[in-house]
Amino acid sequence: MNWNQLTYRLKSLSIAEKLMALNGVFFVLPFVLQTIFYLFELPISGLLSWFQLSADAELLLFRPWTLISYSFLHSGFFHLFWNMILLYYTGQLFLNLFPARTFTNVYFMGVVLGGVLFVVSYALFPVFQGMRPYMVGASAGVMATFVFISTYTPNQEVRFFFFNVKLKYLAMSFVFLDVIQIPNGNAGGHLAHLGGAYLGFLYASQLQKGRDIGSSWGAFWERFGKMFQSRPNLKKVYKNPTPKTRKTASVNQQKIDTILDKISTSGYDSLTKEEKDILFQAGKE
């Protein structure tokens, strides 16, 4: 496989699959760096702490990037494996209905809120007094996307081992398990999961009311990304849409809203082939 083929395959991946690939790369990278540092007799202790999220709020002020970077690190293979399994299947459900931008908004807002809840909990609850652990893992972002789609299409059924179960029951089970496991170890991790779950629930609930709470977040990161892009000196001419074009767009949006309402009440499998095609095309725009 040459470079062009590899680039093409990477571009053809969905946003969920790209996140899985990034998580895989950052899981392997510390082992590679450890070998390099060893060969050149360089100290490596403490290097990862610059990217892990500390429960010390004062330290976070000097390492704000760790509110996101912690989500690309994992404590072990199975920690990574189960997160990526859930991310893969959640991504398939999510991206059937929504564009990649909505997925990234939910995912990274869940990562940040989960991280904030982790830090705040260690500063607030007496049981954590004097403890300042570090946290890693994509679980908060994964939980955010899963709870989002479970809230938006609660009655959609998925295959869970040997039987079908509605998404809302799976989501409630995951949240319940995180709550009861807080006293049994990895309390900070379970609290971060709950932060991500709350973000997913809130985002979907507001979106059903016609309010996209992630629009400002997405716009900020788009502007931030453009700061590092070269700007060709090209003059662009934009034409205002004709009344006919605006009318067609309005009709299409009405169709999409009707289909989403149908999914919310009857599940994705209740859609006709034509309705599924309409959603697929809307997701590509």
Q: How confident is the model at residue 119 (pLDDT cuts 50, 70, 90)?
A: very high
More confident residue, 217 or 79: 79
What is the mean pLDDT of the segment spanning 180-188?
94
- With H, G, I as helix, E, B as strand and everything else as coil, classify residue 227: coil
Closest by alpha carbon to 220, among 105, 140, 138? 105
Range with the lowest mean pLDDT among 4-8, 96-100, 199-203, 270-274?
4-8
- Cβ contacts of 260 within 8 Å, gap of 6 or more: 97, 152
Count of residues making up the chain: 285
What is the rounded distance in angstroms from the CA atom of residue 278 to the CA atom of residue 266? 17
pLDDT surpasses 90 at 177: yes
What is the rounded distance in angstroms from the CA atom of residue 84 to the CA atom of residue 258? 32
pLDDT surpasses 90 at 204: yes
- Asked if residues 167 and 153 have their Cβ atoms less than 8 Å apart, the reply is yes
More confident residue, 153 or 270: 153
> Which token pair is 162?
């040997």
Sign of CA dihedral 97, 101, 105, 108: positive
Angle between helices 100-124 and 77-95 (to 10 degrees): 140
**Angle made by CA atoms 236, 221, 194, in degrees to the nearest 5:** 150
Q: Which CATH class is domain 15-226?
A: mainly alpha
Give the pLDDT confidence score for residue 240 in this predicted structure. Answer: 58
Q: How confident is the model at residue 199 (pLDDT cuts 50, 70, 90)?
A: very high
Give the pLDDT confidence score for residue 126 in this predicted structure. Answer: 94
Give the pLDDT confidence score for residue 227 in this predicted structure. Answer: 65
Give the pLDDT confidence score for residue 229 in this predicted structure. Answer: 61
The residues with which 5 forms a beta bridge, in sequence order, are none
Structure confidence by residue, pLDDT tens digits, 13-72:
999 999 999 999 999 999 999 999 889 888 877 888 899 999 999 999 999 999 999 999
Give the pLDDT confidence score for residue 46 in this predicted structure. Answer: 82
Per DSSP, 162 falls in state T
Closest by alpha carbon to 108, among 87, 124, 132, 82? 87
Structure confidence by residue, pLDDT tens digits, 135-145:
999 999 999 99
Q: For residue 112, which phi and psi values (nearest 5 degrees)?
A: -70, -45
What is the rounded distance in angstroms from the CA atom of residue 169 to the CA atom of residue 267? 14
pTM of the entire predicted model? 0.79
Structure confidence by residue, pLDDT tens digits, 244-281:
555 555 557 777 778 877 776 776 767 787 877 777 67
User: Alpha carbon of 207 to those of 8, 29, 91, 106, 213: distances in Å?
Assistant: 33, 37, 18, 11, 8
Give the pLDDT confidence score for residue 4 in this predicted structure. Answer: 67
Q: Domain extents for the chain?
A: 15-226, 243-284
> Which token pair is 176?
């319940």
Per DSSP, 49 falls in state G
Structure confidence by residue, pLDDT tens digits, 73-114:
999 999 999 999 999 999 999 999 999 999 999 999 999 999
- With H, G, I as helix, E, B as strand and everything else as coil, classify residue 77: helix
- Asked if residues 204 and 152 have their Cβ atoms less than 8 Å apart, the reply is yes
The residues with which 25 forms a beta bridge, in sequence order, are none
Give the pLDDT confidence score for residue 233 in this predicted structure. Answer: 54
> Which token pair is 115?
């991280």
Give the pLDDT confidence score for residue 121 in this predicted structure. Answer: 96
More confident residue, 271 or 194: 194
What is the mean pLDDT of the segment spanning 193-202?
97
> Which token pair is 5?
């083929």
> Which token pair is 10?
């990477």
